[in-house]
Structure 1
C-alpha cells in the first residue's frame, strides 16, 4: 500500500508539473546603452524574484531578449521575428520613442500588448494605440512641475531646447499650454538634430546668447545632452545669470553620467521621478550591483536608475497578468507555405491579446518604484523631486506633487506650502556658484538696441517732445517723461542700449495715443515713452510700468473771497444747522437737568415760572454742587460741559482764522453743482475726458474743448455766462502744469475721478516691466522726482491754491456728531431712569397713604376743622404743611387727636 501511494503521488506531481504553461515574452532593448544594460539586469532579477515569491503559479514567463542596436528598423525587425518565430504574447520595449512608432503599429494591428518603461513621448497616445502601455512617467506629467519652478522664481520667458525627433517634439505642446497658464511665454524654440555635431551645437548656443532670455528647459537624450552641456560650458553659458532646467529623461540618469559632464552641468536644476525609500528597495539595490558586475564586467561604473526599477516592476505586472489570463491555447496561426517568410501580413491576430491587455491594465501593486498602477495605459506618477547639480553629484532641494505644488519635504502632510510664488525650495547653487536668484533675462551687449517710441507734436511739451536733428539725423527727446525714463535706465543693474523712434500725433490726440500704444502691441516699438494714461482698454494688449505721476482727474476753477468782513462775521463760524442744533441741545439739556432735580425734591427748582426758567439756563451753563444734588444730573452736566468746551475751542480757532487769514473759496465745489446749474465745462481737445463728462450727465453743448493752457485761462476768466467755462476738467498732471503758470485766481478741486496716472507701455510679458517699475519707485520716492518736477513744471510750493479745497470753512453739525450724540444719549437715559424710579416709589407709597387717612376722625362739623383736614390731604407732606403754616395759609386745627394724626401721616411720607 505504501509503495502504491508513493507511486500515485509521483504520478500526480508529474502531471502537475506538466500543467505549467509557458508565457512567451519578448524584450527589445538597446543593449549597448546605459539604460539597456541597467534594464537587462533588473529584468533577469525580476523573473527570479517573482517566481520565488509565487512558486505555486501555473504559468511561467519565458523571456526572449533582443538587441535593437539603437536602430528603429532593427527594433521593428526584431519584433516581427518575436511574433513570428516565438509567438510571444507580450513585448517589453522598445527603448526609444522613435522605435515605438514602428513597433506599436505591429502590436496594435495584431493585438499584442507592448509595454515600454522608457518611451515617454506624449505623442504615443494609448487612445490611438490601445495595445501600448507606458510603464513610465509620460513627458506631459512633468511639465507642471517645471512650470511650478518657473512660477516660484517669477521668470516670465522660457526657451525650450529639445532634440528634433518624436521624443523631443512631443513635450512642446504641453509645455506651451502650462506656461501660458502661469503667464509665462516662449519667445523662441531651439530644436537640435539628434545627429548634430559639436560645431552645430555651438552655433545654436551662440544664437541663444544674442537673445535676452536666460531661462532654458533642456529636453534631450542621454548622449546628445552630454555633448550639449559640454559645449555650453565651453562658450561661457554655464555662468552667473543663466538658468538651466533639465527634464526627467536626463535627470533620472544623472548618476550614470560621466563626472566631467556632471561638472559641466553645475548649477542646473532638474526634475526626476520620486522613488519612496523601502527595505525591499535597499535589498534589491545590493543584489543588483552584485549581479551587474557579473553581467557587465566591462562597465563597473554602471549605476541603478529609475528605469531599472520600472523594468523590474513591469515584469512583475506582466507575470501577474499571465497568471490571471490563464493562457492555454496557441496564439497565432499561419500557412505552412509561408513558414520561412517574415511579414506582418502573414500573421493573424492574437486570440488572447485582449485578455492579456485587460489583465495588465488591472494590475496594481506596491512595487520598488512606488505604487505601480497602469490602469489608464500609462504609469500614474504623482510626485517628482527637484534636484540641483552641484560639483560632481546632485542634491535634492524640494519636491512637487499635483495637489500641493512645491515643498521642501516629501511628506506633504507636514508641509503647508502650495503651488505659489514663494521660494519653497532649499538654497540653490546657480551657475557660476552663485546663490543669488538669476533675473532670467539680460540685454545682450551684441544685441540690437531697444526701440523706444516717443511722441512729437504733443499738446504738453513739458511732458514729452521729440524732433530730429537736421544735421545728424538723430532723434532727440525731452520732457519730464523722458527724463524720468532715462534716469530709470541709469538705475538698472545692467546696460540697456536704446534708440528713440518718433511717432507723430494727429489732431485727435486720444486716438493718436491709442495708435501710439498699439505700435508696441504690433512690435514696432519695444517700449512707448510719454504722457500715456494707464487705461483698462490699453492694458489688454500691452503691459504698463508703475505710474510716475499722480493719478486722478480733477477740476480747475476760479477762486473768490469766501468771507466778507462785517458786524455779523461771528455767526459765519458755525453753519445754520450747527447753530440750530446747538440751541436745541442747550434747551433740551436744561430741561432734563431741571426735571431730574425736581424729581429729586431739590428745593432750588421750586418757585415761580420765571425763576424755574432761569434755573434751567443756569444748569445748562454752570456746574455747582450746591445747586445740583443728584448724581445723574451731575453726569449729564459734565458731558454737556465737555461738549461746550470742544465747541468753544473750535469756534475760537475758526473765528480767529476768519479775522486774520485771507479766505479763498472755489466758485464751484463739485461736479454735481455744475450739473445742477447747467454751467459750461472745458477739457483738453482730443482727450478721453469728453466721454467721461458725457457719462456723468453733462449736455454735449456745455462741453467745450481747448488746446493750450492759455486757452484754459481765457475761458475760465470769461466765465460760463460770457461764453467761457465755469470749470476745466483734466488729469492732475496737466492741471499742475496749468497752475504752475496761472497760480493766482485758480485752484484745483478734486480729484473727482480716479485714474492710474501716466506710465510707460511695453510688450506683453516683457521682463523690463518689473525692473523699470522698480526704478520708477526709487525715483518717485526720493528727492530726484522733486528736482525733475521743478525743472519741467516749476516750484508749486509758491502756489497756495494747489491742492484739494473744500467748499466751506464753517463748522458743521457733522464735525461734532460724537459729542452731540453722547450728550443726547446721556440726558435721555438719565431722564428715563429717573422717571421709572419715581413712579415705582409712588406706587409703593399709595397703600400707606390710604391707611393714614383712616385714622382721621370723621368730619363732625366746624369749618375750621374741615379746612384743616382738606389741607392735610392736599399737601400730604410734613415739610409742606409746616411751610403752609409759616405762610399763614392754614388755621390751627382743633383737638389734640387731629394734630397727632398729621404728625403720624407726615412721618410715613
Structure 2
C-alpha cells in the first residue's frame, strides 16, 4: 500500500522514484525505476530448472498478498511453456497460524506431486518450512524450489533537507520542471556491474543472472547459474557464446532432501493409499476381462488378458505401486454403463486408472490420458477361405506367369526354332524334307528344349551357340515356374474370398460388425448402408452368420478390432482368414486422469513388456486355444499377387537370347550371300528383284554337298551298298587306312574303312542285315583277292 502511494505521488509530481525493494510485477508507474529484480524475472529460471530434471508437475505455494499474487501469472506462463502442469495452487495468508499451515501441508502430502515452488515472505517462510520438516516433507522424494533475492554491499546516502515541521508545508509541493528530463537520463544509463549488464527498459532492470543455491542442514552451496543467454551454466563466463542449455549436467552435485544424491522423480503414491483401478464388467469376450463374484458376493476376482498385462506392467516399474481392482458394476453385478461412461468416471476423479479392452479414441483423449497401446492397432476384416474345389482352380497352372510372359515365351520358342532351321537346313538332313516335316521338326526341336529331350543334333557352330544360350534361358524359366507353382498349390487353401472393401459395397453384401464398439460408425462413414450391417456379440454367433451365407441373410465379411478378431481366429482359423487392417485405429490402452504423472512411467513399462517374452506368453495363454491355428493368423491378402512372375523379371534373359539369335542369323546370311555372289551377278540387269530373291532361295534350298556332314553321309551310303559299289564308282571319295598287320603279313594285306558318324534314323540307314541303326561304327576290311571279304 505504501509503495503504491509513493509511486502515485511520483507520477503526479513528475519526480522519478527509484526503488530497490519493490519487486512485485504488479507495481508500476511512469516515473518508477525498479532497480531490484522483478519477481517475474525468476519465472523463466525456475521453469528451466524444472525442465532440466524432467519433472512434469509442480505445485505453486504463494502468499496471499500483492507480493505473491503478482508473480503467479508469470510462473504459470513459464511453466506451461515447457510442458509443466500445475495441479494445485496453494495460497497462504500472511497471518496464518501454525495449525492452518499444518492443514495445508497435510493436504499437499495427499497429492502425488512432490515438486513445490515457494514464493512467500521470509517471516512466513521460517514457520512454513519448520512445520514442513515436522510433518516429514523434508524427507527423501520431495523437491523445494524457493525464490530468494539477496542484494548485498549496497549503501545509499542522501542529504537531508531543512524542512519546517509545519504540516502546511505540503502545499509547497510542486510539479518538478526537470523531472521528465531526469527520467530520460536515468533510462539511458548503461554500465557493466559485478552481476552483469545494468540497463533499464521501461523503468525495469532487465533480467540478469540468477545463482542456483543448494540449501540443506549444512548451509547453502552454489551449484550453478542461470543467464537469459546461456541458460544453466556451471560458472559465469561473459564471453560464453554457447547455445541455451537446459541440461542439469551443467549444475554441480546437489544434495536433495533426505541427504541423498539421487534425483527425485517428482511424484509418489501417497503412503497408505492404493490406486483405484476401474475395470469393465463384460458379458462377452471374457478372455479380455472376466469379473467373478464369490458365492456370498463378498469376494470379487478379476482376471483376463488385459488384467494380466496390467499386472505385468506394474511389476516392471522400478518401484512398488499398490492398487485395487474395482468393477464398474451395479449392486446386482451387472455392467454399470458403456465404455465412454467408464472413462468418464476417471475424468471425474472418482478412480485413478481404468483397465480393460478400452480403445484409444480421439474424443476420449480430450479429457483423459491414455498410455501407449499394449495391443495391435487397427480395425481388420475377416472373410471365409476360398473353396479349394472351385472350378477356377483347374487353371491354377497358368497363374505362376503373367499373360505377357506366357506370350513372350511362346514367341521366343517359335523364333528359336526358326533360327535353328535356317542355320541347319542346308547341311543337316534332319531339317530337310517336305515343308510340313520341316515345320514340325523345327517346332519339335525348339519346344523339346524345355525337357532337354531334343533328338535332332545340330552340326552348325552358329546353331550350337544359339541353342546353348536358349537352353540357359529355358532352364531359368522352368526352375522359376516350378517354384512359383509349388507356392501357389501350397497356399491356395488360405486364399480369402474377398480382399477389397469396395467390392463388398459394390456387390451389396451384408457385413458383420462388433457390437458396442466404434466399428459401426466407422463402417457407416466408409459408405456401407445401415441395412447391410449386422451386429455380432460372440464368436459363436459370428461363425453362424458366416455359415448362413448371403442366401440366408448371412454375411460375407466381418469387421472388428484386431484383438477380438484374433480371438475368433484362435477357434475357427481353418475356415477364415484375417485381411487388413482396413481402417487404422490405436488399439487398447490404460486410462489415467489428465496429467497423471504415472502415465509416462506406465507407457515406458508397456514398451519393455511388449519387447520381451512376457506378452507372448500372456497371448498364448488367453488367445491360442487351438495351437494349430496360431500359424494362420497373419495371412496376407496380397500374397497371391506376390507369387506371380512377370516379364519384368526375365526381360534381360530374353534380350540376351534375342541378340544372340539375331547375331547368328546376320552372320549366316552374310556368309551365304558372299559364297553365292555369282548367283546374284549372273542375272540380266533387267531381271526383277523378286526373280533374284527366288533364285537365291532356290540356291539356299539345295544341299551344301561340300560340307563334311554330307561327305560322311555319302561315304556311309557307299559302305551300306557293298564293296562292289565302292570299287565301281570312281567319283566316290573315301578314306582308307592300312591295317597294322598289313606290314607284318604282305600276303594278307587289307584295307580298313571306318565311318564314325552316327547316321540319322530318319534316313533309315541299314546295316548289312537290313536293320535300322542309330549309333554304329562301321568297319570294312578289303581282303586280298585270294580271300573272301569279311564285314563287321
Whether the TM-score (by the shorter chain) exceeds 0.5 is yes
Higher mean alpha-carbon deviation, 765-774 vs 215-224, is at 215-224
Of 516, 521, 530, the match for 1:700: 530
8 A contact 2:512–2:555 mirrored in 1:
yes
Please tell me whether residue 545 in structure 1 is matched to residue 361 in structure 2.
no
Task: State the distance in 2 between where 1:823 and 1:504 align.
Answer: 71
Identify the residue that residue 480 of structure 2 maps to in structure 1. Answer: 647
CA 1:523/1:562 → structure 2, altered by over 3 Å: closer, same or farther? same
Task: State the distance in 2 between where 1:503 and 1:473 align.
Answer: 16
1:628-669 CA deviation, whole Å, 9 max, x = no partner?
7699989986984684265145236437x54xx893433333
1:83-115 CA deviation, whole Å, 9 max, x = no partner?
xxxxxxxxxxxxxxx653332222223221112
Identify the residue that residue 504 of structure 2 maps to in structure 1. Answer: 674
Task: State the distance in 2 between where 1:596 and 1:374 align.
Answer: 100
1:2-50 CA deviation, whole Å, 9 max, x = no partner?
xxxxxxxxxxxxxxxxxxxxxxxxxxxxxxxxxxxxxxxxxxxxxxxxx
Of 332, 339, 349, the match for 1:523: 349
Identify the residue that residue 264 of structure 2 maps to in structure 1. Answer: 438
Of 76, 100, 105, the match for 1:176: 76
Of 117, 120, 142, the match for 1:217: 117
CA 1:884/1:156 → structure 2, altered by over 3 Å: closer, same or farther? closer
Identify the residue that residue 584 of structure 1 maps to in structure 2. Answer: 408
CA 1:514/1:883 → structure 2, altered by over 3 Å: closer, same or farther? closer
Higher mean alpha-carbon deviation, 703-712 vs 574-583, is at 574-583
Higher mean alpha-carbon deviation, 535-544 vs 174-183, is at 174-183
Aligned positions of 1:682-761 closer than 5 A: 682-761=512-591
Aligned positions of 1:114-513 closer than 5 A: 114-125=17-28, 129-194=29-94, 201=101, 204-222=104-122, 224-247=124-147, 250=148, 252-253=149-150, 305=151, 308=153, 340-341=166-167, 347-381=173-207, 383-389=209-215, 391-397=218-224, 399-401=226-228, 405-406=231-232, 425=251, 427-446=253-272, 448-466=273-291, 471=296, 476-504=301-329, 512-513=338-339
Please tell me whether residue 100 in structure 1 is matched to residue 3 in structure 2.
yes
TM-score by length of 2: 0.71
SS in 1 for 2:221: strand
Q: CA deviation at 1:232?
A: 3.7
Task: State the distance in 1 between where 2:692 and 2:566 align.
Answer: 80
Q: CA deviation at 1:702?
A: 0.8
1:206-226 CA deviation, whole Å, 9 max, x = no partner?
442232211111223445445
Of 588, 597, 602, the match for 1:772: 602
1:743-789 CA deviation, whole Å, 9 max, x = no partner?
44333232222211111111111011122223333444444434444
Unaligned runs of 5+ in 1: 1-97, 254-304, 319-331, 843-848, 857-862, 890-909
Q: CA deviation at 1:617?
A: 6.3
Structure number with bigger Rg: 2
SS in 2 for 1:139: coil
8 A contact 1:155–1:439 mirrored in 2:
yes
Task: State the distance in 2 between where 1:544 and 1:722 align.
Answer: 42
8 A contact 1:133–1:378 mirrored in 2:
yes
Task: State the distance in 2 between where 1:534 and 1:580 align.
Answer: 48
Task: State the distance in 2 between where 1:805 and 1:176 align.
Answer: 53
CA 1:816/1:136 → structure 2, altered by over 3 Å: closer, same or farther? farther
SS in 2 for 1:142: helix
Aligned positions of 1:515-664 closer than 5 A: 515-562=341-388, 572-575=396-399, 578=402, 580-585=404-409, 587-588=411-412, 591=415, 610=439, 640=473, 643-644=476-477, 647-648=480-481, 650-651=483-484, 653-654=486-487, 658=490, 663-664=493-494
SS in 2 for 1:149: helix
Q: CA deviation at 1:154?
A: 2.6
8 A contact 2:20–2:34 mirrored in 1:
yes
CA 1:695/1:210 → structure 2, altered by over 3 Å: closer, same or farther? closer
Larger proportion of helix: 1
8 A contact 2:400–2:643 mirrored in 1:
no
Of 91, 105, 109, the match for 2:12: 109
RMSD: 5.2
8 A contact 2:413–2:447 mirrored in 1:
no
Task: State the distance in 2 between where 1:121 and 1:389 align.
Answer: 25
8 A contact 1:417–1:424 mirrored in 2:
no
8 A contact 1:116–1:136 mirrored in 2:
yes
CA 1:714/1:347 → structure 2, altered by over 3 Å: closer, same or farther? same
8 A contact 1:597–1:633 mirrored in 2:
no
Q: CA deviation at 1:543?
A: 0.4
SS in 1 for 2:287: coil
Identify the residue that residue 324 of structure 1 maps to in structure 2. Answer: none
The number of equivalent residue pairs is 681
Q: CA deviation at 1:564?
A: 6.5
Unaligned runs of 5+ in 2: 707-792
Task: State the distance in 2 between where 1:385 and 1:408 align.
Answer: 10
Q: CA deviation at 1:340?
A: 1.2
Q: CA deviation at 1:341?
A: 0.8
Aligned positions of 1:882-893 closer than 5 A: none
Task: State the distance in 1 between where 2:418 and 2:631 align.
Answer: 51
Task: State the distance in 2 between where 1:432 and 1:590 align.
Answer: 92
CA 1:139/1:799 → structure 2, altered by over 3 Å: closer, same or farther? same
Identify the residue that residue 634 of structure 2 maps to in structure 1. Answer: 804
CA 1:222/1:625 → structure 2, altered by over 3 Å: closer, same or farther? farther
8 A contact 2:680–2:692 mirrored in 1:
no
Task: State the distance in 1 between where 2:45 and 2:680 align.
Answer: 114
Task: State the distance in 1 between where 2:275 and 2:680 align.
Answer: 121
